[in-house]
Structures are given as C-alpha cells and as structure tokens.
Amino acid sequence: MIITFIGHGYVGLVTACVFADLGNTVYVIGRNQDKLKRLSSGDPIIFEPGLQELLKKNLAKKTIHFTTDYSVSIPKSDIVFIAVGTPPNEDGSANTTTVYSVAELIGKHLKKGYTIVSCKSTVPIGTNRKIKKIIDTVKNKDAYIDVVSCPEFLREGTALQDTFTPDRIVIGSDSKKAINILLDLHKPLEGKRVIVGLESAEIIKYASNSLLAAKISFANLISFYCEETGADVLEVLEGVGLDRRIGHRFLQPGIGYGGSCFPKDVKALITMGDALSLDTTFLKAIEKINRDAQTRFISKIKKYVPKGKIALWGLSFKPNTDDVRDSPAFNIINALLYDGYTIQAYDPEAYKNAKRIYKKNKNITFLSSPYDTLNEANGLVICTEWNEFKQIDLQQVKKILKKPIILDGRNIYEPKKMKIRGFTYLSVGRNSV
Ligand code: UGA
C-alpha cells in the first residue's frame, strides 16, 4: 500500500518505519526542512533503540520518503495517518489545533476516489468525527473518505518491539470497507484485533494510559504505607502482583510517572469528565499521589544530604530514551536548586536535552561520566533506572563521594547490601538508613 504519515515524532516515525519495513511505500510529512533533511540522511533525531538502523535500512530500500509537500504524497496514498502532537492546553485539555489544521490540508489534497484517513494521535472523544467533517467540507467532490481511529500503544525505549509485536491493534470506524483495509495493512503484525466504534477507540487510549498511571500511583501510595510502618514495598507488591488478576507490570513505585503521555492524558481525561459533569475524584487522586511521591522524595534528600554539591543521575523520564518531557527528575532538580544545592548531573542520553533547558543556570552542570558527578558531592540522587547505574562500581562511588549517602528514587540497589558497603541508603518504600 502507499501510506502517508503526518508527523515524525515517536509515534509517526516509528510506525512509518515499521510499515515501510513490512513492504509498503511510506511518505512522512513534516514542517521543518532541517529535521526532514536529517531524517532523509538516516538521523532519526530522537534516541530510540533500533530506530536508526530501521530508518537507514528503509531509506536504502527507498520504501520511506520525507517531504513537506502534501501534494507529493496525499493524492497517491491509500491511507493517510495523522500522528501529530496533542499537547495540553492551560486547563489540561488536549490541544487539537494541529490535528484539525492537518485534516484540512489532507482534505484539500485528496485525489479523486477513495482514501482512508486514520488518526493515531491521542485525541479527545469526538475528534475523529470532527476530522471527517472538516475534510468533507474542503475536499474535491470526486474524493471520498472514511475515518478510522487507530490509537497507538507503543512505549518510548521499547517502541519497535511494541509496534512489531503489540498486545492489541485497536481499529475504530463506522466503515466495514475501511476496517478491512486496515486489517489488511496490519496483517503481518501480531496482537489481538479489537474492532470498535470511533468513540470507543478514542476512549480505549485514554482509559489505558490512565489505568496504567493509576497502577503506578497505587504502588506509590502503598510505598507511603510501607515507609510509615517498616514494611518493604517490593515484598508487598511481589505478593500482590502474583495474583494473576493484578500482575506485576506497572506496579513499580518510585518518584512517579512522567513523560509526554501519562501526565497529559490523565489531565485530558479529567477535563473531559468535568465537561460531562462526571466525578473525576479518582483521576485527580492519581495525579495527587504522583506529586506526593516526588514531594516525599525531595524531603528525604533535604533531610539527609547537607547543602552544597550534590550528584544526580538520570534526567530522562524513563531509561532508554533521551526524552525529558515532564521528567520527574526535573521536579527534583528544581526543588534542590530552589533550596540552594549545586547539582552535578549525568545521564547517558538525555543530558543534551536537559542542558538546553538549564543553560542559564550556573548551579547545575552536566558531566560526561557518572563518576565525575561525585567529586566533592555530599550525596548522590538517582532519578532514572538506567542499566548503567545498576552495574556501577559502588566501591568507586563510595570512594569518590564526600559523604556516602545515596537517595535512590527507583529502588535499583539492595538496601541490606548497601548498608554492608557502608552507605547511608534511602530508597522508596523500603526503610533503611
Ligand atoms: C506510555 C504507555 O505505556 C504506552 O502504552 C503509550 O502508547 C504511550 O504512553 C503514549 O501514550 O504514547 P511511555 O510514556 O513511553 O508510554 O512510557 P511508560 O513506560 O509507560 O512510562 C511512563 C512513566 O511511568 C515513566 O516515567 C516511568 O518511569 C513510570 N513508571 C512506569 C513507573 O513509575 N512505574 C512503573 O511501574 C512503570
């Protein structure tokens, strides 16, 4: 098939590369010439394991092309995917301005005959019907379309694996013809097919992300109970998660969820609920616990680490990505800077993005080795569970740190072993000093 993707962020670029690799001809439309030039030369711009290789492979096979010009690809496409951002408005609702403006551009460039327009962006309930209306208003009278909501469930850091072997593929549409074409496109991929209506597909996406965020907040809430009572949260959640109805996944306590999806999607679901006069207390509690997890961790740092230099490892919102959007590490950094600490930070991939954000602040420096951050530091704070930190030479860490204090926001070390090594070690939901 000939497919166009509008947008080359995580969802757009990864899915475009995967469909190109499966033998389709794929066009990716963007707005920024510089970025498109980099993409065309094999630089995916974002750090995502395996993506550069897949992009280069498909550029060489000429199955993927990048352009700013809608007239190049829209008229020859069987399917056009919308994969642009829906960032939060000030009130927390999802901003659909770009979705609607690209819908209009698609409409204006449609060929005579049939095209499917499929929305992969996370959009509020009713957006797909509005997309159809916008396109129907501007399109040529010989062109006709069906709209399909095809939400995306890939995670950053494991995006290729998630796209090649998804748990499920959700296809929401009123049109049998469109559903069958989408089923055909997804044929080589694993995963259960879920065929639903447009609104159901839109809600599935928000419900999934909010329930995952709820699991994390629940784990964090239980970690507070453990800290107050002397229980060990990892023992507790191991016992809880073994119930197959519950499971262990997304039950890791820490300094809370971040990233470009969970915080924004929980907020957007709250605003949708408010608009429908529904009780959104449950969703608001998810957010409150997420904030509390960070506040409690910050209090621990301030209590145990004397003012002065402090080392901080992990800037991305999770490992295996350089994405720092809504990273919990930044809330910790901001609180420590406000309190007068001087931070020496390290992250294997995200330091460049973080450096851009803090470029005017002299009280935070970004170093190229985790060990260098420890010089003269009164303690070490860990915000992201990169494998590199799990395999670090702890003897060396202890030797360099001015005071052997570690505040671990992601529970990556064993408290008993850390005590034996002579560290003052505080993690989340496990009492040890
Ligand atoms: C999330 C969803 O997992 C994807 O299914 C979805 O497609 C994506 O949002 C999206 O809407 O585009 P992502 O934000 O890439 O994916 O990352 P996650 O692995 O879900 O992690 C989100 C945050 O939760 C991270 O800050 C992570 O550290 C935190 N987390 C995750 C925990 O604190 N505990 C856990 O047990 C799991």
DSSP string over 39-97: HHTT--SS--TTHHHHHHHHHHTT-EEEES-HHHHGGG-SEEEE----PBPTTS-B--H
pLDDT digits (tens, 9 = 90+) for 208-238: 999 999 999 999 999 999 999 999 999 999 9
Residue 149's pLDDT is 98
Mutate to test the pocket of ligand 1, among 84, 209, 347 (most ligand atoms within 8 A of CB): 209
Closest Cα to atom 12 of ligand 1: 261
Q: Which atom of ligand 1 is the closest one to the Cα of 384?
A: 28
- Nearest 5°: the CA angle 284, 157, 154 is 65
Q: What is the pTM of this model?
A: 0.96
Average pLDDT of the segment spanning 13-34: 97
Q: Mean pLDDT for the chain?
A: 97
φ and ψ of 285, to 5 deg: -65, -35
Residue 100's pLDDT is 98
Model confidence at 249, in pLDDT bands (50, 70, 90)? very high
Q: Which atom of ligand 1 is the closest one to the Cα of 205?
A: 11
Which residues' Cβ are closer than 6 Å to ligand 1? 122, 152-156, 209, 212, 216, 250-252, 254, 257-259, 261-262, 317-318
If you measure from the C-alpha of residue 389 to the centroid of ligand 1, how many angstroms do you get, rounded to a whole number? 20
Model confidence at 140, in pLDDT bands (50, 70, 90)? very high
Closest Cα to atom 7 of ligand 1: 153
Q: Which two tokens stand for residue 128?
A: 């797909």
Q: Which atom of ligand 1 is the closest one to the Cα of 318?
A: 28
pLDDT for residue 431 is more than 90: no
pLDDT for residue 432 is more than 80: no
If you measure from the C-alpha of residue 261 to the centroid of ligand 1, how many angstroms do you get, rounded to a whole number? 7
Model confidence at 424, in pLDDT bands (50, 70, 90)? very high
- Catalytic annotation, residues: 261
Q: Which residues pair with 116 in a beta bridge?
A: 79, 146
Closest Cα to atom 2 of ligand 1: 155
Mutate to test the pocket of ligand 1, among 10, 221, 257, 297 (most ligand atoms within 8 A of CB): 257
**Burial classification of residue 129, based on how many CB atoms lie within 10 Å of its CB (0-12 exposed, 13-18 middle, 19 or more buried):** middle
Q: Which atom of ligand 1 is the closest one to the Cα of 209?
A: 2
Residue 243's pLDDT is 98
Q: C-alpha dihedral over 167, 203, 319, 48, to 10 degrees?
A: 70
Q: Which two tokens stand for residue 88?
A: 């939060």
User: How much of the chain exceeds pLDDT 70, in percent?
Assistant: 100
126/57 Cα distance (integer angstroms): 38
If you measure from the C-alpha of residue 156 to the centroid of ligand 1, how many angstroms do you get, rounded to a whole number? 8
